[in-house]
Amino acid sequence: MGDEPLVRWHWLATHTDYLRGLLLDHAVIALLPVLIALAGAVPLGLVCARFPRLYQPLAAVFNVVYALPALAVFVVLIPYTGLATQATVMIPLTCYALAVLLPTTVDGLRAVPEPVRQAATALGYGPWRRLAAVELPAAVPYLVAGLRVAAVSSISLASVGALVGRGGLGYLFIDGFQRTFPTPIIAGIVLTAALALATDAVLLLARRVLAPWARREAVAGR
């Protein structure tokens, strides 16, 4: 890149609003699919936990989807969802997140010992109350672990959406490369990493609030 400095601080100072807008757009594109996937993974996980024969076929389907290259899926969707639309990027990201969250949801629900379920039933808990008070809380550490992987992966993959016109911080990589200008590329890397770290920290905090016993068990097991 010749004599071009690695970072032009003046450019960053004069483009703060632009960078903030890209960051917010990136957060929506990357994290909303994870929330949608979570809303789908919980009921699907419940069905798979109740009917184990369904789990392997469903998991196989989502594993195949997860193996598909993101850019190829974006291109296939363009005739149906349009170029430079959120749907073109968010639909594949939702499927990728669901492929991660379904196994962790099923593992979490299966982690509840059968004697605990039986004890809850003996205490008069119906199926829905037992689910809300016993099974789902026990699955929280597993769900959060899956969410951490899905969220960081989605934040990374969302940048590829810039190649089809909607990619948040991914625009900075394309802009910097096309203009042989490293400052936007560095800014994109730093902001993407910061978003991933902040999201991971929020999820860790949520696990400590929702499942404080998980941290105590981890410390006790050392």
Decide if pLDDT at 220 tops 50.
no
Average pLDDT, the chain: 88
Decide if pLDDT at 85 tops 80.
yes
The reply to whether 159 falls in a domain is yes
The reply to whether 3 falls in a domain is no
CATH assignment of the domain containing 152: 1.10.3720.10
The reply to whether 113 falls in a domain is yes
Decide if pLDDT at 34 tops 80.
yes
Say how far apart CA 140 and CA 150 lie, in whole Å.
15
- The percentage of the chain sitting over the pLDDT mark of 90, rounded to a whole number, equals 53
The reply to whether 204 falls in a domain is yes
Find how far residue 48's CA is from the centre of its chain: 21
The reply to whether 77 falls in a domain is yes
Overall number of domains in the chain: 1
The reply to whether 20 falls in a domain is yes
Instruction: Check residue 112 and give its pLDDT.
Output: 78
> Would you place residue 218 in the very low, low, confident or very high pLDDT band (cuts 50, 70, 90)?
very low
Instruction: Check residue 190 and give its pLDDT.
Output: 96
Instruction: Check residue 144 and give its pLDDT.
Output: 93
Average pLDDT over residues 72-87: 88
The reply to whether 4 falls in a domain is no
> Would you place residue 2 in the very low, low, confident or very high pLDDT band (cuts 50, 70, 90)?
low
> Would you place residue 165 in the very low, low, confident or very high pLDDT band (cuts 50, 70, 90)?
confident
The reply to whether 185 falls in a domain is yes
Instruction: Check residue 215 and give its pLDDT.
Output: 58
Average pLDDT over residues 11-40: 95
Decide if pLDDT at 28 tops 60.
yes
> Would you place residue 169 in the very low, low, confident or very high pLDDT band (cuts 50, 70, 90)?
very high
Domain that holds residue 186: 9-220
Instruction: Check residue 7 and give its pLDDT.
Output: 87
Instruction: Check residue 211 and give its pLDDT.
Output: 78
